[in-house]
Amino acid sequence: MPAGTDIDVVCAIAAGELAGEVVLRTDRVIAFLDHRPVFKGHVLVCPLPHVDQLTDLPADQLPVLFVEVQRVAAALPRALGCTGTFVAINNVVSQSVPHLHVHVVPRTRGDGLRGFFWPRVRYAEGELQAYGTLIREAVGE
């Protein structure tokens, strides 16, 4: 678990040690309502085996997790009458739960969610290509 955290809420809910409104459970994935939702019906979809963040999830488990993310995303409009969903993952920064979790948030046009308010920067001359090279090398391209 990341430093400064005491409890893995996902593992505790999965073990029945902490109450959670579980909406889906398989032998590899659990999904439950976020107790502090962006909008009502906000679901967290998580691998059952403990994994801190996306980069720690074994590659063969990505399809297992995202099939269930897709299933939840498809279910929310039917269940709640929303128009669509917002799907997101935080890794370390803004990750309040020390266990990989995918947010599936119900969305409706005009719901007031304005997106991210990240500061924007510009690349200096030559920086775009330099950053591209660094990232391509890191991913092995």
* Low-confidence spans in the chain with pLDDT less than 70: 1-6, 115-121, 128, 139, 141
Residues that are catalytic: 101
* Cβ-count burial 57-75 (b if 16+ within 10 Å, e if not): beeebeebbeebbeebbeb
Please give the pLDDT value at position 91: 83
Please give the pLDDT value at position 117: 56
Which tokens hold the place of 83? Answer: 């128009």
Please give the pLDDT value at position 124: 87
Is 129 within the bounds of a domain? no
* CB 86 within 8 Å of CB 105: yes
Please give the pLDDT value at position 121: 66
Which tokens hold the place of 31? Answer: 């999904």
Distance CA 94, CA 31 (A): 20
Q: What is this structure's pTM?
A: 0.82
Is 128 within the bounds of a domain? no
Residue with tokens 């005009």, as numbered in its chain: 110
For residue 51, the domain's CATH number is 3.30.428.10
Is 52 within the bounds of a domain? yes
Domain enclosing residue 48, as ranges? 9-116
Please give the pLDDT value at position 66: 97
Is 104 within the bounds of a domain? yes
